Amino acid sequence: MNAQVHIRSVAAEIGPLLQRLGVRPQAVSEGDLAVTSPVSGERIAQVKTMPADEVGTRIERAHETFLEWRKVPAPRRGELVRLFGNELRAAKADLGRLVTLETGKILSEGLGEVQEMIDICDFAVGLSRQLYGLTMATERAEHRMMETWHPLGVVGVISAFNFPVAVWSWNAALALVCGDPVVWKPSEKTPLTALAVQSLFERAATQFGGAPEALSQVLIGGREVGEALVDHPKVPLVSATGSTAMGRQVAPRLAARFARTLLELGGNNAAIVCPSADLELALRAIAFAAMGTAGQRCTTLRRLIVHESVYNALVDRLKSAYTSVRVGDPRESGTLVGPLIDEAAYARMERALNAAKAAGGVVTGGERLSAPGAGAYVRPALVEMPQQTDIVREETFAPILYVLRYREFEDALRIHNDVPQGLSSSIFTRDLREAERFLAVDGSDCGIANVNIGPSGAEIGGAFGGEKATGGGREAGSDCWKTYMRRATNTINYGNTLPLAQGVRFDL
Ligand code: NAD
C-alpha cells in the first residue's frame, strides 16, 4: 500500500513532555505494558501494571482516607480542586499534546479535553458551597423535616481510551468536593495521560497542605484490575465509561453487591435534517460531529436521517467534504481527522463497511491512507443505506456515517429511536413544531437532544449521559453531584407530644 499520509516520529517528544508533567522516567520505561502511539504506530513507553490482587490494598487505603476526608468541610475540599484546576491551567499545553499523542485526536481537541477538565474543576469549586438539601413541609405539628447530603465513600472510575482524562475529571472533581476519594482504572491504551494527571493532582495536594494521602489513585491494568475494583465491597459507587459490552459485564456484578453504578456506554447518535433546515449550518455541524475525533466520540454522529426534498443537495455537499477533508498527523494545523486508535479499530471499520455494502450500502470514502503499523489513518466513510439494517443499529467506533432518507416526519422519529442505544441526538429545522416535537415526550428518546447543533461536543454544565444500552448514567453538571453522596432524611420533633404520621394512633 502506498502511504498517503506522512507522519513525523513522536518518540523524541514523549520523554521531555512526560518530564515536564512530572511523570518519573522509571514509571514509563520499565513496565510490562507496552504503550503505542496511534499517531505513528511507535512504541512510546513501557508502563508497569498493577497485579489484580493489589487492588484491595489500594482500596483499603482509599477507604481510610475517606474516613478523614469526609470530615473536612466541603468548601475546604473545594480548595483542593481549585488548586488542581490551576495546575491544569499551567500544564494545559503539555497535557493536551500528550492526549493527542496517546489517542490520536487533533491538537485542538486534545487541548479542548484539558479545558473541559478545567471547566469541571471550576464548576466543582462553586458546587463545594452549594451541596444543598431541602427542607420539606411536615404534616406533624412542632416537627421539622429536612434532607442532609453526606459523602458516600470510595468512588471507582473506569474510563475509556477516547476521553482519557476528561471523563475521570467529571467524576473526580465532583467526588472530591462531595467528600469521596477516587480510585481510577484508566484504559490500558492510555496510561500515560493518567499518570500525568495523577502527578498534577499530587502537586495540587502538596500545595493544599494536609490532604490525606490516598485521595486519588491510579490503577494501571486491564480488565482484571477493573473487575477487582468493581467487586470490592468498600467501593459504593463505580462510574464506568466504555462499550456497552463492558457495561453488560460490570452492571450485574455491581448489582449483586447493591453498589451504585454510573454507566456511560456506547451511543448510536442520529440527526434528522428537515426540509426547512439551514443546510449550510447543518453541513458544518454534521462534518464536525461525524468526522471529528475520527469518529471516536461516544457522541459521534453515526446516522443521518434526511428529508427527501433536501437529500441530494445535502448529501452531494457532504460527499465533497468527505473526499476533501484533511486526514493526517493530528499535530499539524489544518488536519481535521487523525488516526484510529489501533489496527483492531480499523479491522472493525472494514468489517462494518463490508456488511453495509452487502446490505445495499453505497460507500464514499473509507480508504486506508497509511501502511499497516504506521498508524491507522483512514478517510471517513459516508454510506448511503436503503434502510436501517442491523449494521446501522450497531455502534462501530470509527468514522462511518450512515445516511437514510425519509418522507414523513413520524417515520424519521421512528427510525431515529429504533436502535438499542440512547445517548445523543439532533434535529436541523426552522420549523418550531418539528423542533419542539423532537424534544417532547414522544420525540427523541436520548439523554441529549439538540436543535440546530450536532450531537457531539457537550459542555460540562449539563448532565451528560444516555438511556437504553447507553446505561442511564449522568455525569458532569446540573445536579449529578447527588450520585456521589448519600441522602439522609431527618425528622426533628421540637414539641412535647408524639403525633404519628398518617394519623396512626398507638396509645400505651
Ligand atoms: P472498552 O469497553 O473496551 O473499555 C473501557 C474500559 O473498561 C477500559 O478501561 C477497560 O479496561 C475496562 N473494562 C473492560 N472490560 C471490563 C470488565 N469486565 N470489568 C471492568 N473493566 C473493564 O471501551 P473503549 O474501546 O476504551 O472505548 C470506546 C467505547 O466507550 C465506545 O463504545 C464509546 O461509545 C464508549 N464511551 C462512552 C462514553 C459515554 O459517556 N457514554 C464516553 C466515552 C466512550
Q: Output the residue whose Cα is nearest ligand 1's atom 43.
A: 298
In this predicted model, what pLDDT tens digit does every residue of 266-282 receive, in sequence order?
999 999 999 999 999 99
**Ligand 1 — pocket residues by CB below 6 A?**
158-163, 185, 187-188, 222-223, 226-227, 230, 241-243, 246, 249-250, 264-267, 298, 395, 397, 423, 470
- Measured from the Cα of 397, ligand 1's closest atom is 31
- Measured from the Cα of 186, ligand 1's closest atom is 9
List Cβ neighbours of 429 (8 Å cut-off, separation of 6 or more).
Answer: 272, 274, 276, 277, 435, 438, 451, 452
- The arithmetic mean of pLDDT across residues 49-71, rounded, is 97
In this predicted model, what pLDDT tens digit does every residue of 102-145 receive, in sequence order?
999 999 999 999 999 999 999 999 999 999 999 999 999 999 99
Q: How far is the CA of 159 from the centre of ligand 1 (A)?
A: 6
Contact predicate 220/54, CB 8 Å: no
User: Is 494's pLDDT higher than 80?
Assistant: yes
User: Is 2's pLDDT higher than 90?
Assistant: no
Structure confidence at residue 67 as a pLDDT band (50, 70, 90): very high
Domain coordinates in residue numbering, the chain: 52-265, 269-460
Which of 33, 120, 162, 474 to probe ligand 1 with, by most ligand atoms within 8 A of CB?
A: 162
List Cβ neighbours of 168 (8 Å cut-off, separation of 6 or more).
Answer: 157, 159, 182, 184, 186, 194, 197
Q: Among 8, 374, 56, 32, which Cα is nearest to 191's?
A: 32
Q: How far is the CA of 32 from the centre of ligand 1 (A)?
A: 21
Q: What is the pLDDT of residue 461?
A: 97
Q: Taking the complete model, does pTM exceed 0.85, yes or no?
A: yes
User: Is 256's pLDDT higher than 70?
Assistant: yes
Q: How far is the CA of 240 from the centre of ligand 1 (A)?
A: 7
Q: What is the pLDDT of residue 380?
A: 98
Structure confidence at residue 4 as a pLDDT band (50, 70, 90): confident
Q: What is the pLDDT of residue 260?
A: 98
- The arithmetic mean of pLDDT across residues 447-467, rounded, is 97
Q: Output the residue whose Cα is nearest ligand 1's atom 41.
A: 264
User: Is 415's pLDDT higher than 90?
Assistant: yes
In this predicted model, what pLDDT tens digit does every residue of 145-201 receive, in sequence order?
999 999 999 999 999 999 999 999 999 999 999 999 999 999 999 999 999 999 999
Q: How far is the CA of 160 from the centre of ligand 1 (A)?
A: 4
User: Is 419's pLDDT higher than 60?
Assistant: yes
User: Is 352's pLDDT higher than 90?
Assistant: yes
- The arithmetic mean of pLDDT across residues 379-391, rounded, is 98
d(C-alpha 451, C-alpha 435), whole Å: 7
Q: What is the pLDDT of residue 487?
A: 98
Q: What is the DSSP string of 202-265?
A: HHHHHHH-S--TTSEEE---SHHHHHHHHH-TT--EEEEES-HHHHHHHHHHHHHTT-EEEEE-
Q: Among 363, 406, 413, which Cα is nearest to 387's?
A: 406
Torsion of CA 194, 198, 199, 200, to 10 degrees: 100
Is 298 an annotated catalytic residue? Answer: yes
Q: How far is the CA of 340 from the centre of ligand 1 (A)?
A: 16
Q: What is the pLDDT of residue 3?
A: 66
For the 52-265 domain, the top CATH level (class) is: alpha beta
Which residue in 79, 264, 384, 475 is the catalytic one?
264
Is 343 an annotated catalytic residue? Answer: no
- The arithmetic mean of pLDDT across residues 340-366, rounded, is 98
Q: What is the pLDDT of residue 166?
A: 98
Which residue in 274, 298, 446, 480 is the catalytic one?
298
Q: Output the residue whose Cα is nearest ligand 1's atom 32.
A: 243
d(C-alpha 114, C-alpha 96), whole Å: 6
CATH of 269-460, one of 3.40.50.720, 3.90.79.10, 3.40.309.10, 3.40.190.10: 3.40.309.10
- The arithmetic mean of pLDDT across residues 382-404, rounded, is 98
Name the percent of the chain lying above pLDDT 70. Answer: 99
Rounded CA Rg of the chain? 24
User: Is 1's pLDDT higher than 80?
Assistant: no
Q: Output the residue whose Cα is nearest ligand 1's atom 23.
A: 242
Q: Output the residue whose Cα is nearest ligand 1's atom 35.
A: 242
In this predicted model, what pLDDT tens digit does every residue of 287-313 receive, in sequence order?
999 999 999 999 999 999 999 999 999
Structure confidence at residue 210 as a pLDDT band (50, 70, 90): confident
- Measured from the Cα of 189, ligand 1's closest atom is 26
Q: How far is the CA of 241 from the centre of ligand 1 (A)?
A: 5
Q: Tell me the average pLDDT of the chain.
A: 97
Contact predicate 376/339, CB 8 Å: yes
Q: Output the residue whose Cα is nearest ligand 1's atom 21.
A: 226
- Measured from the Cα of 185, ligand 1's closest atom is 9
Strands 467-468, 421-422: pairing is antiparallel
Q: How far is the CA of 480 from the centre of ligand 1 (A)?
A: 20
- The arithmetic mean of pLDDT across residues 323-333, rounded, is 97
